Structure 1
């Protein structure tokens, strides 16, 4: 019995490793090309897996991308929101420093950010998950939620609109559509966040 349990445990570990490789390959290939051009064959080749193996884990490219976004990318974004929430009494300099890290993250993940927006246009079911992820960003700021208003519902809505606005701005930033400098962008974002959080310094 212990030997059978060990075999099952090893099999589960192998399956988890294969699933992760497929998710990482999905992000890699979509980032290298774009969402529409990426095929399951591209993903499986990059992961060193067969098409049959892919379908053991995911029903479609959209499902693989959704899993990769949810399990690999979203935790990184939420960790950045928690960094801001960890600051007990932030001032303007703290908010600006945090926004610098957000801009850097978007710059480092530029290709996948662009491809993600393509995926949202092509796969309507991804939109609900994207919005859920933005909502989780609000959950990651419980310490500062009250800074967005006294009423919990309106405060959450204000925070949500703030994060969505920042996401749109950073998307257009990584597309290279702003004439302003990086510092000017961070200053404008800082003004917006400090105003929304009612910070005076």
Structure 2
């Protein structure tokens, strides 16, 4: 067999298979349900959003809904993941890749995080409502997503400390990452979920950046 023929065969084998029309239709149906779900959750909250509301908004049948999801809780989690969690993870990718870690660069990043939370506050409000009042199914699904989310953040913080000469320490890095994330997350909750933004945003970001610098560059004390 010629080299050209061999390369051609390899290219054919490695070429990704195009999804069928049926699969593309299925993907599009799921996308419409998630988008409609997000709109309904933002408008009505989690408890007042039903399968019927979502299917009507998506122009889909109940049968189509249950082909993709078992409950509105699953739609909520997927909507939150796409709208908020995936984008937060992108932010942490950017944070971990910063060439220069300074209070100013951290402050700018924190302002980006706050702006994202402000943009997604309505779906986050529904997500928190679902966790507190939506039953164990919502809580279990949310816990799985958040566990993976926090694990990814810990990985990024560990990488940042390793770049600065600290040996990996899973327990220590996890504690530092949780303190950093919880500090910023609770502030955003106070501002955008509870509607209590009464302090200067830039000043708050500056103070948080100072705290984060200490958590990122201080050595472990015995």
**Both structures adopt the same fold (TM-score exceeding 0.5):** yes
The reply on whether 1:26 has 2:42 as its aligned counterpart is: no
Q: How many residues align?
A: 194
Q: 2:187 aligns with which of 162, 169, 193?
A: 169
Q: Which residue does the alignment assign to 1:64?
A: 75
Q: CA RMSD in A?
A: 2.3
Kindly indicate whether the alpha-carbon contact (under 8 Å) linking 1:96 and 1:186 is maintained by their aligned counterparts in 2.
yes
Q: Which residue does the alignment assign to 2:210?
A: 191
- Seen in structure 2, the aligned counterparts of structure 1 residues 15 and 120 have a Cα distance that, compared at 3 Å, is same
Query: What is the rounded CA distance, in whole Å, between the counterparts of 1:188 and 1:28 in structure 2?
Result: 35
Query: What is the rounded CA distance, in whole Å, between the counterparts of 2:68 and 2:151 in structure 1?
Result: 27
> Rg larger in 1 or in 2?
2
Q: Which moved more, 1:133-142 or 1:43-52?
A: 133-142
Q: Which moved more, 1:136-145 or 1:61-70?
A: 136-145
Kindly indicate whether the alpha-carbon contact (under 8 Å) linking 1:85 and 1:142 is maintained by their aligned counterparts in 2.
no
> Deviations for 1:49-70, whole angstroms, at most 9, x for unmatched residues?
1111100000001112222333
Kindly indicate whether the alpha-carbon contact (under 8 Å) linking 2:80 and 2:123 is maintained by their aligned counterparts in 1.
no
- Segments of 4+ moved more than 4 angstroms: 147-150
Query: What is the rounded CA distance, in whole Å, between the counterparts of 1:155 and 1:30 in structure 2?
Result: 35
State the Cα distance separating 1:179 from its structure 2 match: 2.4
Q: Which residue does the alignment assign to 1:124?
A: 139
Query: What is the rounded CA distance, in whole Å, between the counterparts of 1:53 and 1:77 in structure 2?
Result: 30
State the Cα distance separating 1:153 from its structure 2 match: 2.4
State the Cα distance separating 1:45 from its structure 2 match: 1.5
TM-score scaled by length of structure 1 = 0.86
Runs of at least 5 residues in structure 2 that lack an aligned partner in the other structure: 1-16
What SS does structure 2 have at the residue aligned with 1:144?
A: helix
> Deviations for 1:109-160, whole angstroms, at most 9, x for unmatched residues?
1111211111111232123422332222223445314469642321122112
